[in-house]
Amino acid sequence: MASSDSDVRSAPRIGVSTYLERAQQGVWDVRAAFLPDVYLNAVTASGGVALLLPPQAEQVADIAVAGLDGLILTGGADVQPELYGAERHPQTDAARIDRDAWELALFRAAERRRLPVLAICRGLQLVNVARGGTLQQHLPESLGTDRYRIGGGVFAENEVAIEAESTLSQILGDETYPVHSYHHQGIGRLGDGLAVSARSDDGLVQAFEGVGDGYLVGVQWHPEENTDDRRLFEDLVSQARAFAARQKEETR
């Protein structure tokens, strides 16, 4: 069924972080903003409008966030270990300084505005670092398993146990839940103001949520890869719609 004009006009604006990669098109070979379209499809299929947020000057993060109703911090390369005071592991990705700085600025701007946030894989790790937490830099070494990244661009299938009475349980239920994994790092020390909402059977934190007011949900897996279950994106869009309504009321 086609959306009405009023539905489109009232659709929440969801900012989605992107990253800069070299791209070739015809004679052009340049750096360009990049993001797999599965993220965009997940947002639009859930009733939101996706707005891309490529890395740029940190000082404009508050301006960028001011036009949003919700924020998604996406997956990708490892967060710099220098940001949480650790020595670099040989298997840690090369630093993406521009992306780390921009997404940290976006998250902090979102916190100041009390914007609903969904943090996915790297996004969860970045939020943990922003809140003073640490990461395990190479799970095959620290946990003795490569179950979370089998390589070759193929997502591993794992199961997570969701904590009862958590925000995540209200979205997905509190039973064991199947997920798509592609990561070799994970949560070490949990950051301030975060509560674990899911773990895998080896004890690794697979999801957390913010404590107190505001909406912050972080998942270590890739929900955008599950086209049959959009509930995490639908809940973010619902929270963003409520946020937009509150903002409208406050400006009256």
Give the active site residue among 111, 121, 163, 184: 121
Q: Is the pLDDT of residue 157 over 50?
A: yes
Structural domain count, the chain:
1
Average pLDDT over residues 19-24: 91
Q: Is the pLDDT of residue 5 over 70?
A: no
Average pLDDT over residues 176-189: 98
Buried b (16+ CB within 10 A) or exposed e, 113-141: eebbbbbbbbbbbbbbbbbebbbbbbbee
Indicate whether 151 belongs to any domain.
Answer: no
Indicate whether 205 belongs to any domain.
Answer: yes
**What count of other Cβ atoms lies within 10 Å of the Cβ of residue 196?**
15
Q: Is the pLDDT of residue 177 over 50?
A: yes
**Is residue 149 a contact partner of residue 183, using CB atoms and an 8 Å limit?**
yes
Q: Is the pLDDT of residue 249 over 90?
A: no
What local confidence, expressed as pLDDT, does residue 25 receive?
A: 87
Task: Mark whether 224 is an active-site residue.
Answer: yes
Indicate whether 147 belongs to any domain.
Answer: no
pLDDT tens-digit map of 59-72: 999 999 999 999 99
Indicate whether 152 belongs to any domain.
Answer: no
State the pTM of this model: 0.95
Report the CATH number that the domain containing residue 42 is assigned in CATH. 3.40.50.880
Q: Is the pLDDT of residue 168 over 60?
A: yes
Average pLDDT over residues 212-239: 97
**Percent of the chain topping pLDDT 90:** 88
Q: Compute the distance between CA of residue 37 and CA of residue 55 in angstroms, rounded to an integer.
A: 18
What local confidence, expressed as pLDDT, does residue 124 receive?
A: 98
Indicate whether 142 belongs to any domain.
Answer: no
Indicate whether 148 belongs to any domain.
Answer: no
Q: Which domain holds residue 45?
A: 5-136+186-250
Mean pLDDT across the chain: 95
Q: Which of 30-34, 84-88, 129-133, 200-204 has the lowest mean pLDDT?
A: 30-34
Indicate whether 197 belongs to any domain.
Answer: yes
Indicate whether 45 belongs to any domain.
Answer: yes
Single-letter residue type at 89: H
